[in-house]
């Protein structure tokens, strides 16, 4: 014979009470998890909005400060914009003109305030190798009675000659 335990008349079952407490604790934990997740999601949203706003307010310069080959270019203060480049070296006129613009820029950063063509001398320090790469040293007249030497590396690539000026602090 089967017997189902039946609580005595004075006893109450705690099963429903325990079930409600467990469900209440689970519901509370879910609410806390949703609140914490929402908080961090909101913080990520605010940070993303700030990045988007910063990107939208970022000004991208579209003009080149000085193109020595453009006769209508506005001159940059301190740049020698006469269209002349120092003579000498192995480069052609256009490459020397572009190298001169790069030397002036590096010169400004290294304390040669007013580089001028007059008095600037070019010396070839390494003849072209098998790849056509050669080195020159440009002794630049800084315009204030001082001279500064700048090593340059000329690298032919795809019909052009890339010029690299070594920074001299």
Mean pLDDT of 70-80: 61
76 and 47 in a common domain: no
Spatial separation of the C-alpha atoms in residues 127 and 26, rounded to whole Å = 81
Number of other residues whose CB lies within 10 A of the CB of residue 83:
13
161 and 113 in a common domain: yes
pLDDT tens-digit series, residues 14-68: 888 899 999 999 999 999 999 999 999 999 999 999 988 888 887 766 555 556 5
pLDDT higher than threshold 90 for residue 13: no
| Burial of 69 from C-beta contacts in 10 A (0-12 / 13-18 / 19+) | exposed
167 and 93 in a common domain: yes
81 and 48 in a common domain: no
Q: What is the pLDDT of residue 143?
A: 83
Spatial separation of the C-alpha atoms in residues 47 and 41, rounded to whole Å = 10
Question: Which residues, 6+ apart, have CB-to-CB distance to 113 below 8 Å?
Answer: 78, 107, 142, 143, 144
User: What confidence category does residue 72 fall into, taking pLDDT thresholds of 50, 70 and 90?
Assistant: low
143 and 119 in a common domain: yes
Q: What is the number of structural domains in the chain? A: 2
User: What confidence category does residue 81 fall into, taking pLDDT thresholds of 50, 70 and 90?
Assistant: low
For 68, the 3-state DSSP assignment is coil
Q: What is the pLDDT of residue 156?
A: 93
Query: Domain range for residue 27?
Result: 13-60
47 and 112 in a common domain: no
159 and 79 in a common domain: yes
pLDDT tens-digit series, residues 134-143: 999 999 998 8
Question: Which residues, 6+ apart, have CB-to-CB distance to 130 below 8 Å?
Answer: none
DSSP element (H, E) containing 140: strand 134-141
110 and 51 in a common domain: no
50 and 77 in a common domain: no
Percent of the chain with pLDDT over 70: 79
Q: Is 79 inside a domain boundary? A: yes
Q: Is 2 inside a domain boundary? A: no
138 and 56 in a common domain: no
Q: Is 92 inside a domain boundary? A: yes
103 and 31 in a common domain: no
Q: What is the pLDDT of residue 96?
A: 93
168 and 87 in a common domain: yes
DSSP element (H, E) containing 94: helix 93-109
Q: What is the pLDDT of residue 33?
A: 94
């Amino acid at each position: 014979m089967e017997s189902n335990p039946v609580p005595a008349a004075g006893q109450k079952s705690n099963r429903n009470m325990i079930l409600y407490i467990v469900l209440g604790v689970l519901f509370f934990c879910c609410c806390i998890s949703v609140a914490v997740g929402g908080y961090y999601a909101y913080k990520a949203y605010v940070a993303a909005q700030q990045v988007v706003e910063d990107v939208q307010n970022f000004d991208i310069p579209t003009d080149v400060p000085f193109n020595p080959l453009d006769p209508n270019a506005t001159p940059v203060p301190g740049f020698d914009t006469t269209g002349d480049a120092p003579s000498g070296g192995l480069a052609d006129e256009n490459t020397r003109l572009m190298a001169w613009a790069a030397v002036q820029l590096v010169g400004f950063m290294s304390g040669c305030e007013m580089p001028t063509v007059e008095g600037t001398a070019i010396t070839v320090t390494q003849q072209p190798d098998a790849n056509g790469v050669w080195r020159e040293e440009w002794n630049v007249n800084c315009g204030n009675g001082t001279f500064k030497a700048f090593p340059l590396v000329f690298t032919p690539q795809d019909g052009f000659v890339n010029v690299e000026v070594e920074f001299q602090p």
